[in-house]
Structure 1
Amino acid sequence: MWEERFAASTEYVFGTAPAQFMETHLPYFSTGASALAVADGEGRNSVFMAAQGMSVTALEFAPTAIERARALATEHGVEVQFLQCDILNDPWPETTFDVVAGIFIQFVGPEGRAHQFAQIKQATAPGGVVLLHGYTPKQLEYGTGGPPFVENLYTEDMLRDAFADWEILECRAYERELEEGKGHSGRSALIDFVARKPA
């Protein structure tokens, strides 16, 4: 599905600028730290982290998206290790990362999400942080991006429960206008989540 969506467009579906979430959480992206971008799409978020001086690995399944991501990295003069990966079925890198970022990765229901979160936790180094950004169920009223399935969407309680044994640094639902390519455009019901893995 995702390869078809990216291949059907001659433009970057979600634009080339990073998600607003990334810019508002800039202090977490420190020079010299390692980062993993999960289901990175066309590279806007991994390239942003690399531009902050981080060593970045990005996982993505769709070949068209990876091709565009590589072009974006070249344009910005940064290096990102792009790995073609079905994050639900393929093995993830065995190394761990200081930062693991999952930005709008709500293409799975509860069962897939449990596996997704387990992999994210395993990929995070002790003392490292996970940053998740996505939509809340109210997003279905707006229809300005994201999946049309309420079971795929995040609530504050869901995320707190999923990372109950971690230090939760932020868990906030809010609304904002988004202009992130054609894929995310208009009033949106969003949630930001940041948690630190026990050292």
Structure 2
Amino acid sequence: MWDQRYATEEYVYGTEPNAFLAEAVADLKPPGRVLCLAEGEGRNAVFLAQRGFDVLAVDASGVGLAKAEVLARQRGVRIATEIADLDGYSIEPGAWDLIVSIFCHLPAAMRRRLHAQVAQGLRPGGRLILEAYTPAQLAFGTGGPPDATLMVTLPSLRTELPGLRFEWARECERDVHEGRLHSGRGAVVQLIASRPEGA
């Protein structure tokens, strides 16, 4: 499905970064190693590379990641890419300064397994930046999966990310204008969480 969605010259989610991510990383210094989950066509990975981060973009779609590499070349930066199904993906423990999950919508059991690895994958002091649609998004119909079970809530994140300190966490409505497929008012959960030093 994702290969078919990305098989166009158009960047269906745009080429500019997710607005919440761009704001959240504004004060992150120095840049470090970043893992971008379900990165698709690369807009967030390329943005982070432009800011000096060492980025690995992971996605199940080779078509999407090929477009990510094109975008990186156009912007004069380099990113690493890895084609992988997140259902069986292993995150290296204690390896990442930043993990990014933007509109990564997975079945609940798969998401719980992945989030447990995310919590362990951060270095002490490392951060997770996440934005996803909540089930309330179904009333807007402006993007995201048409299935509430694939969406995320703040209470579920609190149970799925053990050991992380939630620095910023909220469910809210905001205007999302990120390409043709994310366009209009949306209901989202936003999270910045960190692994405590010494953890």
TM-score computed with the length of structure 2 as normaliser: 0.92
Q: Label 1:52 to 1:175 Cα distance change in 2 as closer, same or farther (>3 A).
A: same
| Cα distance change, pair 93–70 in 1 and its aligned pair in 2 (3 A) | farther
User: Deviating runs (4+, > 6 A) in structure 1?
Assistant: none
Within-5 A mapping of 1:80-95: 80-92=79-91
**Residue 29 of structure 1 contacts residue 49 of structure 1 at CA under 8 Å; is this kept in 2?**
no
Which residue number corresponds to residue 159 of structure 1?
157
Note if 1:144 corresponds to 2:142. yes
* 1:130 alignment partner in structure 2: 128
Identity score, percent: 34
What is the letter of the counterpart of residue 70 of structure 1? Answer: E
Q: Which residue of 1 aligns with 2:119?
A: 121
How far apart are the structure 2 equivalents of 1:46 and 1:30?
Answer: 17
SS at 1:189 equivalent: strand
3-state SS of the aligned residue for 2:26? helix
* CA deviation after TM superposition for structure 1 residue 164, in Å: 4.4
Q: 1:95 to 1:124 in 2, by over 3 A?
A: closer
Q: Secondary structure at the match of 1:133?
A: strand
SS at structure 2 position matched to 1:5? helix
RMSD: 1.6
Take 1:164 and 1:93, find their aligned partners in 2: how far apart are those partners?
17
How big is the shift at 1:28? 5.1
* 1:163 to partner: Cα distance: 2.4
Stretches of structure 2 that go unaligned for 5 or more consecutive residues are none
For 1:14, give the aligned amino acid: Y
1:103 and 2:141 aligned:
no
Structure 1 stretch displaced more, 27-36 or 160-169: 27-36
Residue in 1 that maps onto 2:3: 3
Contact conserved, 1:100 with 1:131, CA < 8 A, in 2?
A: yes
Once residues 11 and 184 of structure 2 are traced to their aligned partners in structure 1, the CA distance between those partners, rounded to angstroms, is: 17
Unaligned 5+ runs, structure 1: none
